[in-house]
Structure 1
Amino acid sequence: MNVVVDSADPLVSARFWADLLHVPLDGTQVHAPELTLTFVPADEPKTVKNRVHLDLASQSAADQGDIVSHALSLGAAHADIGQGRTPWAVLRDPQGNEFCVLEPRPEYAATGPVAAIVVDALAPASQALAWSTITGRRVALATDDFASLEGVGPWLEFVRVVEPKVVRNRVRLAVGAVGAEVRVDPEGNEFHGG
């Protein structure tokens, strides 16, 4: 599972994420365990909350605090997306892309620095079934409000929202090669390959 991210400055974005995740940088690609982030040029500015974001894993409360502090030192900022009081931190990278730094959770102990790729969904259980077919990953949990697919590396998760997709996703999943055909899932989310 890989992620493609539109960016006004792909190299700056890639450097931020490589530094944050403490992983190698290869041009505009960041190689985390079982996940490659590919940053591609885009002229359109970000106008709405991303429907796809990354959740970062932490091993302890102190580790979570260290990750947040490190992200802020690299140019991230705190974000309020209506989350209220939560045990995780919501941030934006320097290009405005939301991401979370989670409190320690046992299910993410072996994922590497990225715990999950999270997708907003009108119907999480239906999306999980569709993405299970696309990726070959097993559905671990499916409810009306949340669904998850486990596999090697980051989990793929779907969280219920009521807002339908209205613009092209700046953050997209890639199954296989990044340059592969762009397709759409049942809720209209663009993805590469599959």
Structure 2
Amino acid sequence: MVLRLVQWNLKARDQAAIGRFWAEALGWTVFTESPVATAIGPAGFVWPDPVTACLDVIAVPDPETVEGRVHLDLASSSAAHQAETVARLRDLGATPADVGQGDVPWTVLADPEGNLFCVLEPREVYRDTGPIAAIAVDCVDPRAMARFWGAAIGWTAHEVTGDFARLRSATGTGPYLEFLRTSGARTAGRRLHFDLLPEDQGAEVERLRGLGAGDAARGDFPWRVLADPEGNEFCVLTPYR
């Protein structure tokens, strides 16, 4: 099995502006830009990187505006760093968001198009993740989601309970993939989804179906759109040659 998470795909009305926002937010650079897509990654990034995933912002006329299931959690190294990060992001155009979080040590913000994300307080577990601590997915069954995604992309489980599960790349680098049990159903996350790179697209699609994935969309495009067991869409790209 060779199937890698190579990028997170974010839909936006103004993909250039949102791409620039996230490049500044993460300290990354734009490495590919076209009228319909802006891709950002760490300095010197060359796609597809064997270890690091990038963020690909795609122009869509009317992306969903509802609160989705998937969001980014940004890391901080100290209370001062967290406060500085929040202030810097607000200067870039982020706005505070109230999702009923109450009195919590992290800060919830929205980017200029309303995509929610969090700036976390310093936590030891995220000390070496880089600017993105985790990709957080709200779900019904964290155990089942961890089983599916661990098998799908070969990531290692670091913590699995009935309420929370945490995976990370087998290389021990980059952000975690986390699943959090939620009490209320939310619209499946379609504004932010995962793009996976296979060596054999057909074989990987069949393997993913065997793990519990379903077909999510059909159309005249080279990638395959599937959904995980809780309906979160993701794409299996064509092999890179």
Per the shorter chain, which TM-score range? over 0.9
* Aligned positions, number: 193
5+ residue gaps in structure 1? none
For the residues of structure 2 that align with 1:107 and 1:89, how far apart are their CA atoms?
A: 18
1:124 equivalent in alignment to 2:142: yes
Equivalent of residue 191 in structure 2, options 170, 175, 187? 170
Q: Which residue of 1 aligns with 2:228?
A: 185
Report the 3-state secondary structure (helix = DSSP H, G, I; strand = E; otherwise coil) of the residue aligned with 1:82: coil
For the residues of structure 1 that align with 2:148 and 2:191, how far apart are their CA atoms?
A: 21
Computed over aligned residues only, the root mean square deviation of the Cα atoms, in angstroms, reads: 1.7
**What one-letter code is carried by the residue in structure 2 that aligns with 1:31?**
G
TM-score between both structures, scaled by the size of structure 1: 0.93
For the residues of structure 2 that align with 1:168 and 1:159, how far apart are their CA atoms?
A: 14
Q: Which runs of 4+ in 1 moved over 6 A?
A: none
Equivalent of residue 12 in structure 2, options 7, 11, 19? 7
Where do 1:82-161 residues align within 5 Å? Answer: 82-151=100-169, 152-161=173-182
Report the 3-state secondary structure (helix = DSSP H, G, I; strand = E; otherwise coil) of the residue aligned with 2:223: coil
Q: CA deviation at 1:65?
A: 0.6
Q: Which is further off, 46-55 or 75-84?
A: 46-55
Q: CA deviation at 1:167?
A: 5.1
Q: Which residue of 1 aligns with 2:60?
A: 42
For the residues of structure 2 that align with 1:160 and 1:185, how far apart are their CA atoms?
A: 16
Equivalent of residue 24 in structure 2, options 3, 19, 24? 19
**What one-letter code is carried by the residue in structure 2 that aligns with 1:142?**
V
Conserved 8 A contact 2:137-2:179: yes
5+ residue gaps in structure 2? 46-51, 199-221
**What one-letter code is carried by the residue in structure 1 that aligns with 2:92?**
L
**What one-letter code is carried by the residue in structure 2 that aligns with 1:159?**
L
Q: Which is further off, 144-153 or 6-15?
A: 144-153
Larger-gyration structure (1/2): 2
Conserved 8 A contact 1:165-1:187: no
Deviations 1:34-54, CA, capped at 9 Å, x for gaps: 231101111224331121110
Q: Which residue of 1 aligns with 2:39?
A: 29
Q: CA deviation at 1:125?
A: 1.0
Deviations 1:91-147, CA, capped at 9 Å, x for gaps: 000010000001111111111100000111110111011000111001111111111
Conserved 8 A contact 2:40-2:55: yes
Report the 3-state secondary structure (helix = DSSP H, G, I; strand = E; otherwise coil) of the residue aligned with 1:176: strand
Assess, with a 3 A threshold, how the Cα gap between structure 1 residues 168 and 61 changes in structure 2: closer, same or farther: closer
TM-score between both structures, scaled by the size of structure 2: 0.76
Conserved 8 A contact 1:165-1:188: no
Identity %: 41
